[in-house]
Structure 1
Amino acid sequence: MVDKIANALRLTAVDEQAAKAGLYKGMALTDARAQFDKLDIAFASPRKDGELLEKLADWCDRYTPLVALDAPHGLILDMTGCIHLFGDEPTLLKDVHRQLQRHGMIVKTAFAGNAAAASALARHSAGGIVEPSDQNRRLYALPLVSLDLEDAHIAGLRRAGLRTVGDLDVLPRAALTARFGNGVVAGLDALFGRQSKPISPRRIVPVCMVERRMAEPLIAMEAVELVLVQLADELFIRLGQRVEGAREIEASFFRTDGNVRRLRIEAGRPLTDTKTLMRLMKERLSTLAEPLDAGFGFDMIRLGALRTDRTRHQQKSLDDREQETEEVERLIDRLSIRLGNSRVLRPTPVDTHIPERTVALEPASKTKRESNGEWTAQPQGDPPERPVRLFQPPERIEATFEVPDSPPAQFIWRRVRHNVVLAEGPERIAPEWWREHSGALTRDYYRLEDSSGKRFWVFREGLLERGTPNPRWYLHGLFA
């Protein structure tokens, strides 16, 4: 493999035969062709390599939900609590190698006590299963490049006569830090597990998960649906033991050719029964641009609850009909599945004193607990403090007033003159200085009623005493 590096074509990877012939990574292509006339070369494509690595990571979800990328060419799998599903470590490694070799890939693996050690042993040693009692000896034999240090630091360490990780680990920490910085010591601590460095999985780890591995791949969709029903029954039994329902469920379909298809279902209320889930699943399947295709068959199907919530008893009416709120929630779930959460919205209050920002739209499937806040109840008998309808942006009006700080006596809006008979205010609202630009002005709001009984909400932008020469008037809303 060749790529353009520093305005020259250089080798970025060589196979076993080329390595035995003396070619190496970083070698100039002209030097390689000077030794061998007939070279089978291909141009490197890091983007396609990354896409392939992402697909391999999806495929590795069949072994554990904790899969992380170890760029540029590796994957890290946290197998804690998953080994028993495959028998033991040798059986698991044998299955990984067999499955990938069937797709024409060569893989090198290593089992170790932490992610950094496993990555270094897989890249720079023979790999395999490393026993805890033998791990330090294996790590001591690794070359310095296994620490992922800068080239300048590695060159400096080699000039000092250091060749392996063991040569470096026995030196005083203070001297290493003073000469090469914290990176060397941090790399050693991560390699030997002295410093906890958890991996960052690519996908959300399910709260509760069930799966089914098939002895023979499933091709018929009727069989796939039957397996989904069985998995849903098992999942809801487990969630019921936790007194929880599923707010977000993901179904994963693993094909024998390595492709993984995922369907995600989000609900506005906790799901607790298989019938409702399957109804939403069918709605989701009907909206797919690419139908669910089994190809050569699914060899594993997984159902996981990504988000859960405490369940509560639903109040029933006297004639055993469900409450109207539950019917509305069902409608919201169906619309959200068909149209998408970003298209089924409802207003929610926002904690701010700026009128046009007090309401935001959010997915209707969110619960009140996940929303920004609660609506403030209006005291009975009092006139409303805010109008029912707001204009965004506020509309400019021409106002006539007796003194600069008084409410307008009359104003012209949309070429119609309104004579003010009642006025209430002002209500002063200052800008949010932490998010507004420096030129934002203070507003004085007034509630006005004209001679025909119409009520308006207007404000004056800017104050004379603060240096605004000609404050402007705007109509911001209308009262019912």
Structure 2
Amino acid sequence: MAIWCPRLSVDRWRLSQGLEIGEGADADPTVLISDTAHGPRIEAANHAGYSAGARHGMMLADARALCPQIKSAAADPAGDFALLEKLALWAQRWGPWSALDPPDGLLVDITAAAHLFGGEVRLLGDVTAAFAKRRLAVRPAIAPTAGAAWALAHFGAHHAILDPHENAHRRLGDLPVAALRLDQDVLIVLNRLGLKHLGDLANIAAGAADRTEAAARDALHRRFRNRQSPSANPLIRLDQLLGRVPEPLLPVVPQQMPLVQRRLMEPLRHRSLLDQVLADLAKDMERVLEGRGEGARRLELGLWRVDGEVIVRRLELAAATREAAHITRLFSDRLENIDAGFGIETVRLRASWAEPLELSQADVEQSAERHGTSLAACIDRLSVRLGADAVRRPVPHASHLPERAQVWQAPLDPEPAPSQLSAQGAFEFHARPLKLLEKSEKIAVLYASPDGYPQRFRWRGKVHEVVRVEGPERIAPEWWRARSGTRLRDYYRIEDAEGRRYWIYRQGLAGDGRGALPDWFLQGLSA
């Protein structure tokens, strides 16, 4: 069974505004837009917007040229997809499994399930009624294959049903070739070839005794034989629609979030009792996560008061964990200002984000975490006390310029993937100093010749004699970011008479045509 929601984006926007169909702002021509390089583009429109001439893919400026009164709202594809996922799980009431058909459709396997609803006709009626209660427009259809059901839902009659024993060629032959779920460029090619209906394409693909039709079939095979994607090959799509080749579908599997709770016999009003309940829930969560082989990255603690108010405290962790003591200690800081009112009767702990965490033998890091001294535990405690924005950590950045080789990010954000840093390792020809200055400081250097080694330099009012020099190491600017006149850098590792080591560089070369004499800067300090 294919379920198509032709106005999913608009219906979701209308429900978010609390409007019924044709009521209030929904009666005005309204479009949902997304920003592009050429300006706002229309993604969907309500009934009044379509009547005013707005269409999917049209630029907002063109639509307002037709109807200046058109209103616009931001489209939310991520929110639409999240709603579609929820509908897919909810649609499993009609079959054992369901699959997504983005951006606005579902596919439900109803094999041997239609009789539970009184037949296929009553099943389609139940689907329409259930979606109507959710105030969503829907067009369902039933067929032996997913492709045929999709074609009937989008281009067939309302509540269309294709019997397995019915002649599919005769029933589907009048549908347009767009019913094959093809890419737009493929549809343009088929229309130019005069193949506008499924019947035309099916006759050529099946072949005939006539030499002309056989030649046309061979030409069609040659044109699309190198296209392996089903959406780019009408022959594959046609075979899937007729059931000649299987069409794999990916079922939607509900993801159960680990959840533990306590329903209390007497309402709690004292902090000590709440801490005890929290510790018990943390131990329960530890057992649940250990059984699933996971660790929590985000936890939500819900407190239900007697008067019906719900208090929620959320916590994000720097690394996946299931240590009960660590979870209890972090949440205890979040419960300082809890107003229990007339008492708390239900406490619930849920892991809304969990990651795989294998069982392993206790090591130094796990031992430190139990005592609250590990790096992850330290980050968690600092974030809880100071706020996530007050704690930062450096991470590698793919750049050969020293000042851009690392960036600062929030401690709870994931580190860059190794593939994003592949270029970083290619630039590490030499060891870098242990400490880099926040900003390179200009120094005065005395040298024998413009291109010679530095012999003496003045930094922060003090003159340093250079006794050892290593270099130069030339680093070019980032040509894709810098201007054409940016000068090269020659880095030197030097040591003064007191044994202190520095990392300095000369910016530019004498006579390079990009400025006056080169300038010298100090950028790092070595041990």
* TM-score, with structure 1 as normaliser: 0.57
Kindly report which structure 2 residues correspond to 1:20-169, keeping only aligned pairs within 5 A, or say none.
Answer: 47=74, 53=80, 56-57=83-84, 59-60=86-87, 62-63=89-90, 70-71=102-103, 74-76=104-106, 97-110=128-141, 117-125=148-156, 126-127=158-159, 140=172, 143-144=175-176, 145-147=178-180, 157=191, 160=194, 163=197, 165-169=198-202
Aligned-residue RMSD, C-alpha = 6.4
Distance 1:61 1:281 in 2: 35
Distance 1:268 1:89 in 2: 53
Distance 1:195 1:152 in 2: 22
Q: 1:442 to 1:192 in 2, by over 3 A?
A: farther
Distance 1:135 1:246 in 2: 54
* TM-score, with structure 2 as normaliser: 0.53
Partner-residue secondary structure (3-state), 1:445 = strand
Q: 1:471 to 1:385 in 2, by over 3 A?
A: same
Partner of 1:296: none
Kindly report which structure 2 residues correspond to 1:202-221, keeping only aligned pairs within 5 A, or say none.
Answer: 209=257
Partner of 1:447: 494
Distance 1:365 1:49 in 2: 26
Partner-residue secondary structure (3-state), 1:171 = helix
Distance 1:190 1:394 in 2: 65
Distance 2:119 2:401 in 1: 60
Residue 447 of structure 1: CA displacement?
1.8
2:369–2:377 CA contact under 8 A, matched in 1: no
Give the residue type in structure 1 aligned to 2:355: R
Give the residue type in structure 2 aligned to 1:345: R
Partner-residue secondary structure (3-state), 1:109 = strand
Partner of 2:470: 425
1:423–1:448 CA contact under 8 A, matched in 2: yes
Partner-residue secondary structure (3-state), 2:357 = strand
Q: 1:398 aligns with which of 444, 447, 459?
A: 444
2:302 equivalent to 1:270: no
Q: 2:356 aligns with which of 308, 316, 337?
A: 308
Residue 445 of structure 1: CA displacement?
1.5
Distance 2:376 2:355 in 1: 17
2:500 equivalent to 1:459: no
Give the residue type in structure 1 aligned to 2:138: V
Partner of 1:245: 294
Per-residue CA deviation, residues 91-129 of structure 1 (Å, 9 max, x unaligned), is: 997876555323434423346677655543322234578
1:66–1:205 CA contact under 8 A, matched in 2: no
1:190–1:197 CA contact under 8 A, matched in 2: no
Structure 1 gaps, min length 5:
6-11, 16-24, 30-41, 213-219, 223-227, 254-261, 288-300, 377-383
Partner of 2:406: 359
Give the residue type in structure 2 aligned to 1:76: L
Distance 1:405 1:140 in 2: 81
Distance 1:143 1:114 in 2: 16
Give the residue type in structure 2 aligned to 1:389: K
Partner-residue secondary structure (3-state), 1:406 = coil
Partner-residue secondary structure (3-state), 1:314 = coil
Distance 1:138 1:282 in 2: 70
Distance 1:77 1:274 in 2: 42
2:444–2:457 CA contact under 8 A, matched in 1: yes
Distance 2:519 2:405 in 1: 23
Give the residue type in structure 2 aligned to 1:307: E
Partner-residue secondary structure (3-state), 1:310 = coil
Partner of 2:273: none
Partner-residue secondary structure (3-state), 1:476 = strand
Distance 1:189 1:341 in 2: 55
Partner-residue secondary structure (3-state), 1:313 = coil
Kindly report which structure 2 residues correspond to 1:292-331, keeping only aligned pairs within 5 A, or say none.
Answer: 305-315=353-363, 326-331=373-378
Between 397-406 and 183-192, the greater mean CA deviation after superposition: 183-192
Distance 1:277 1:131 in 2: 57
Partner of 1:258: none
Q: 1:286 to 1:237 in 2, by over 3 A?
A: same
Give the residue type in structure 1 aligned to 2:294: G
Per-residue CA deviation, residues 4-59 of structure 1 (Å, 9 max, x unaligned), is: 99xxxxxx7769xxxxxxxxx77989xxxxxxxxxxxx968675797984574364
Distance 1:310 1:361 in 2: 29
Q: 1:417 to 1:283 in 2, by over 3 A?
A: closer
Give the residue type in structure 1 aligned to 2:469: E
Per-residue CA deviation, residues 383-437 of structure 1 (Å, 9 max, x unaligned), is: x9644432344222222111333332333345x2513142321241333767565
Distance 1:47 1:331 in 2: 41
Q: 1:120 to 1:399 in 2, by over 3 A?
A: same
2:204 equivalent to 1:171: yes
Give the residue type in structure 1 aligned to 2:408: L
1:147–1:187 CA contact under 8 A, matched in 2: yes
Residue 234 of structure 1: CA displacement?
8.5
Distance 1:210 1:131 in 2: 43
1:124–1:142 CA contact under 8 A, matched in 2: no
Partner of 2:341: none
Residue 473 of structure 1: CA displacement?
1.1
2:325–2:370 CA contact under 8 A, matched in 1: no
Q: 1:419 to 1:160 in 2, by over 3 A?
A: closer
2:258–2:285 CA contact under 8 A, matched in 1: yes
Equivalent pairs: percent with the same residue? 24
